[in-house]
Amino acid sequence: MKEYLKLAWRNIWRNKRRTLITSASIFFAVFFALVMRSFQLGSYDSMIKNIIESYSGYIQIQGLDYFDEPLIDNSIPYGKELEKTILSEKNIKMVIPRFQAHGLATNGESSKFAAVIGIDVEKENQINKLENKLVRYRITSKAIEILKNEKNFPDDIIEMLTKYENASYSNTQRLLLDIILSEKEQELYLKTIEEVTAFEGKYLTENSTGVLVADRLAKYLNLNIGDSIIIMSQGFQGVSAAGIYPIEGILKFPSPEFDNTMIYMPLKQAQLLYSAYETNENMVDTTFYVSYLSLNVKNSDDSDVINSTKNLNSLIDNSIYKALNWKEFNKELVQQINSDSMSGVVMLALLYLIIGFGVFGTVLMMTKERQREFGVMIAVGMQKRKLEIIVIIEMIIVGFIGVLSGIVASIPVILTGYYYPISLKGQMATMMEEYNMEPIMPMAWFDTYFINQTTVVLIIVILASLYPVLKIGKLKVINALRG
C-alpha cells in the first residue's frame, strides 16, 4: 500500500495543472455547499429564536383540552406549588404564566375585536423584550410643520417624512430603515428629527392599573397615551367581563396581525377582568387561573427539550395538566421549516448535479489524456488491477485536497456570518419584520451539516473515479499506444 500511495502522489503532481483544475472543482463544490447550507440552517435558528425563545417558549404546560380548544374555560390553576414543582426539573430556567383571551375594545365611538394578554410584567419583559417595542417616535403632522419652520432644514428630508406621516417607530434603527439618511445627514439632522417626533409612553409595573395597546389598534380607535380604553367580553365560566383602563404605552409590532389586535395588561388585572379565579368555601384561599405556562429552558437542544417534557409530565398532575414541547404545539412552524428545508435539499441536489458533471468532466479529460500512459504502464508489466487501485487513490487524494481546502475557506466566512450576520435593509427588512423576525441573515454554527456535505462530495469523487477504472479494465494496449 505504501508503494501505491507513493506512485499516486507522484502521478497527481506530474501534471499540476490538471490536478489543480480537478481540486478546484471539488473546492468550489464544498465551499458553496457549506455556505449555502449554513445560511439556510442559520435562518431556521433565527426563526426559532424569534418565535419560540421570545414568545411561546420551548415547552408549554396547558390544560388537557386547551390545545384543541384555546378557551378561557380550559385554563389551568396556577400557584407557587406548581411553579416549584416545574422548577425542580433541572433544565427549566423560568416559568412565564400567561392569560390569553379576546374581547371588544372600544373608545365609546369606535370598536374593534382585540386579543387581551395578561402577563407577568417583569418575566415577560425578560423574555419578550416588550419594553423595547414601545413606540418612541411618531411622525405627526405637527412634527412635520415644526421641521418646515426650521431654518435650513432640507426639503428632501421633509418630503420623506411627509411620505411616512403617522408612522410609528420603536427605535432609531427602525426609523432609519424608512427615513434613509446619509452619515452626514444623520450627524446634522437626526437629533432634531428624534426630538420633534419623540413619543411618550412607559412600560407596565406589577401594580399598574393601565394597559399597553398595539399601535394600529390605538390609531383605529383614535386613542393616545393617557386615554382610556373599554374592554368588553365574556369571562370565566360564562360571567360577563367589562372594564375601563388607561393607556400607559403603545407597542409597535412588525407583524400587522399583532399590531392590529394586541392589548397587554398585568396578569392579576386580566384575571380579575375575566373572573379567572375561584375562592374556597371558607373564603380564605383563592385559586387563580392562567391559559398556559411558557417555560424558558437552559438547554434548547431537541433531545434535552424532549427529555424535559417527559420529566415534567411525570411530575405534574396529568388529570389537569400536560406538558408539550415546541414541535407539538407549534406544528405550523415545524411544517414551514420542513418544507423550506426540502426546497433547500432540492437546491443542494441541483448543486451536486452540477458538481458531479464538473468533476466527471475533469476525470473524463484526465482519462483521455493519460490513455497512452496507461497503455505504456500495462505494456511494461503493470497489472491492470494495481493500476486501477493507483488511479482510485489518486482521485481520493485529489478529492481530499479539494474538500479540505473548501472546508478551510468556508470556516472564516461562516464564523463571520455567525458573529456578524448580514443586516437587511429596505423592503426586505420590512418583509422580515412583518413575519415577526429580526431583519438579519445569520449563518449556523458548525454542526453535522459539515460532515454531510463533505461526505456527499467525496462520494461524488469516488463515483467519478469509477470511469477511469472501467476504461483501464477494458483497455487494449495496442490501441492505447497508437492513441
The whole-number pLDDT of residue 313 equals 94
pLDDT band at 471 (very low <50, low <70, confident <90, very high): confident
Task: Give the range of the structural domain holding residue 344, as residue numbers without chain letter.
Answer: 2-52+332-482
Q: Is 135 part of any domain?
A: no
Q: Is 451 part of any domain?
A: yes
Contacts of 158 (CB under 8 A, 6+ apart): 144, 147, 148
Give just the sign of the alpha carbon dihedral 267, 270, 271, 276.
negative
The runs of H, that is alpha helices, within 15-137 are 16-48, 80-87, 121-128
Q: Is the pLDDT of residue 280 over 70?
A: no
CB atoms within 10 A of CB 53: 16
- In whole numbers, what is the pLDDT of the chain averaged over residues? 85
Q: How far is CA 205 from CA 48, 119, 122, 211, 232, in A?
A: 28, 11, 8, 10, 23
Determine how β-strand 262-266 pairs with β-strand 111-119. parallel
pLDDT band at 425 (very low <50, low <70, confident <90, very high): low
The whole-number pLDDT of residue 434 equals 58
Cell numbers at residue 335, please? 411544517
The whole-number pLDDT of residue 451 equals 80
Q: Is the pLDDT of residue 473 over 90?
A: no
The one-letter code for the residue type at 436 is N
Distance CA 60, CA 96 (A): 9
Q: Is 118 part of any domain?
A: no
Q: Is 272 part of any domain?
A: no
- % residues pLDDT > 70 (the chain): 94
Q: Is the pLDDT of residue 337 over 90?
A: no
Distance CA 239, CA 259 (A): 28
The whole-number pLDDT of residue 385 equals 82
Q: Is the pLDDT of residue 163 over 80?
A: yes
Contacts of 284 (CB under 8 A, 6+ apart): none
Q: Is 462 part of any domain?
A: yes
Q: Is 74 part of any domain?
A: no
Q: Is 374 part of any domain?
A: yes
Torsions phi, psi of 99, nearest 5?
A: -115, 120
The whole-number pLDDT of residue 270 equals 94
Cell numbers at residue 411, please? 470556516
The whole-number pLDDT of residue 431 equals 63
Q: Is 121 part of any domain?
A: no
The pTM of the full predicted model, rounded to 2 decimals, is 0.73
Cell numbers at residue 220, please? 383605529
Distance CA 350, CA 344 (A): 10
Q: How far is CA 165 from CA 34, 65, 141, 149, 188, in A?
A: 44, 46, 7, 17, 21
Give just the sign of the alpha carbon dihedral 309, 315, 319, 321.
negative
State pLDDT tens for residues 338-366: 776 777 778 778 877 877 887 787 778 77
What SS3 state is found at 149? coil
Q: Which of 24-38, 143-157, 341-355 has the lowest mean pLDDT?
A: 341-355
Q: Which of 66-80, 226-240, 281-295 has the lowest mean pLDDT?
A: 281-295
The whole-number pLDDT of residue 105 equals 95
Q: Is the pLDDT of residue 445 over 70?
A: yes
Provide the number of structural domains found in the chain.
Answer: 1
Q: What angle do CA 200, 204, 206 make, to 5 degrees?
A: 155
The one-letter code for the residue type at 432 is M
